[in-house]
Structure 1
Amino acid sequence: MRISRFYLPVKLTAGSTLTPDQESAHYMHTVLRLQKGAQLSVFNGDGEEYTATVLDATGARFAIQLGAVPTSVDRESGLHTHLGLGISRGERMDLAIQKAVELGANIITPLFTERCVVQLNAARKQQRWQHWFKVIQSACEQCGRNRIPELRQPQELAEWIPGQQGLRLLLDPLNGKRLTELSPAAGLVILSGPEGGFSDKERTFALQAGFTGLRLGPRILRTETAALAALAAVQTLWGDLG
């Protein structure tokens, strides 16, 4: 039977006993109803994971003991991918981030674009970042990754584009090349637009900065679909899905 996995951002030491943070403990105890003696798996993002046992699940108390030997399991793709993702609304953005993690993205940068319908002040920007990081955390717990992808702070597209290196792909349903026309690279940057797509100005700027247009078939894909289709395609051709 598959045991539940949990990300705990603390130092993990073989054989030690620890008390998870309140939110994690509540989920383990109240939602999953883990009782004394139950097995689970924990990781902190350093690449290792521990089998753990529930020692105490009495009332508000919840404690676990880590196993004596950690397990190093590398579930990272050999293809390093950085996803620049135009910010979309609510569940669409959450879905895109969640599935990008499952598909092996190493870096995710939310981007403000001309047609972005989401406006965030400084406080809301930090709140959204924290929310998106929890989406990433949960996705890693589910898919088995022991390293947490880097979630960068939301950034203006015009500021983000010049700093990118390597094979840079702009998802362009109108004038892009097909993946079979491109050569693989160790590092890959994928730029995916928001719900309204990129403006002509943004598209031109990206192409002039060294991005190559990528066309994913004859159909227009929604924002959350396009980014995930691109990640799945490059992982199949050049990564670990082939």
Structure 2
Amino acid sequence: MRNPRIYQNTDFAVGDSVELSADAFGHVVRVLRLADGDAITLFNGLEQKEFHAQLYQVTKKSAQANIISESVKTTESPVHIHLGQGISRGDRMDFTLQKSVELGVSTITPIFTERCGVKLSGERLAKKQQQWQKIVISACEQSGRCYVPQVLAPISLSEWLNQPTDALKINLHPRAQHSIMTLPVQPQHAELSTQQGTQQDKQENTQQKVRLLIGPEGGLSDDEIEQASDAGFAEVLLGPRVLRTETAALTAITALQCRFGDLA
């Protein structure tokens, strides 16, 4: 019997009965076609727990879930990676966000750069950010993560570079002297939190921190690379081959997890 993992931004406790949110109901009942008595696993993105539940009172418009038990699940990496991703066109951005979450990225800021080629503002930009956040949630449901990385509001590269942080800052450059595996710097432990007061913040305060800058299709311009260097970003290389933006992001995150995180 299927037991899908479902995100819902609700406080859960064993013995409680909760009504599924519109998004959760749509996925569980309309897509998966589950019914009374079927099992689901819920998580709220704020704590390192899963809540095992059973559906009841399933109708065409709503469904209830009875919380039967809970379990602690330790799937978060010991390295906190804040990905600054140059916005790319089409499905490339969606793919990058999805796979970076599977690999353990903690925070994502979409970045407008000279070569991003995407013009978004106002309501269209807000809708795109919501769409990206839904992709992140779906990736957490699939990959077994209990915390949900936040997709922050898209900003310019200069704004992101100048945000205060004590994290190790990394930018990719084909002529760099060091790779991620040989970079003679250890990440720090004090990047300023963007989600003050949550349980996730408390965990992040004990994690190693890295800020990773990835350019869009076509890469960063020479001026942007210089801006990053002036802002203290260490230049690293990923090998002799030219990688697409989505490949570069995932390769760099994998290398960071191998060196500082939980990939052996």
TM-score category of the 2 structures, normalised to the smaller one: over 0.9
Is contact 1:41–1:51 with CA below 8 Å preserved after alignment?
yes
Partners in 2 of 1:2 and 1:59 — Cα distance? 20
The letter for the 1-side match of 2:263 is L
Q: Counterpart in 2 of 1:166?
A: 167
Please give the secondary structure, in 2, of the residue aligned with 1:180: coil
How many residues are paired up?
241
Whether 1:199 and 2:200 are equivalent positions in the alignment is no
Residue number in structure 2 paired with 1:112? 112
Equivalent runs, 1:35-184 vs 2, <5 Å? 35-47=35-47, 48-67=49-68, 69-163=69-163, 164-175=165-176, 177-182=178-183, 183-184=185-186
Shift of 1:234: 1.0
CA distance in 2, matches of 1:180, 1:59: 53
- Tell me if structure 1 keeps the 8 A contact 2:52–2:67: yes
Amino acid at match of 1:184: Q
TM-score (norm 2): 0.87
Shift of residue 128 of structure 1?
0.8
Query: In structure 2, the residue corresponding to 1:49 is in which secondary structure?
Result: strand
What's the Cα RMSD here?
Answer: 1.4
Secondary structure of 1:71's aligned partner: strand
Q: Is the 8 A contact 1:176 1:212 kept in 2?
A: no
Alpha-carbon distance between aligned partners in 2 of 1:110 and 1:9, rounded to the nearest angstrom: 23
Distance in 2 (alpha carbons) for counterparts of 1:59 and 1:82: 40
Percent of pairs with identical residues: 40
> What corresponds to 2:192 in structure 1?
none
AA in 2 matched with 1:132: W
Q: Tell me the amino acid that sits aligned with residue 20 of structure 1.
A: L
C-alpha distance after superposition, 1:10-42 (max 9, x if no partner): 222221112212232122112111121111100
| 2:230 counterpart of 1:208 | yes
Cα shift readout 1:77-126 (whole Å, capped 9, x = no counterpart): 00111110000113100110111111111111000001111011111111
Calculate the TM-score normalised by the size of structure 1.
0.95
Range with greater deviation from structure 2 (161-170 or 185-194): 161-170
User: Aligned partners of 1:181, 1:2: CA distance in 2, in Å?
Assistant: 44
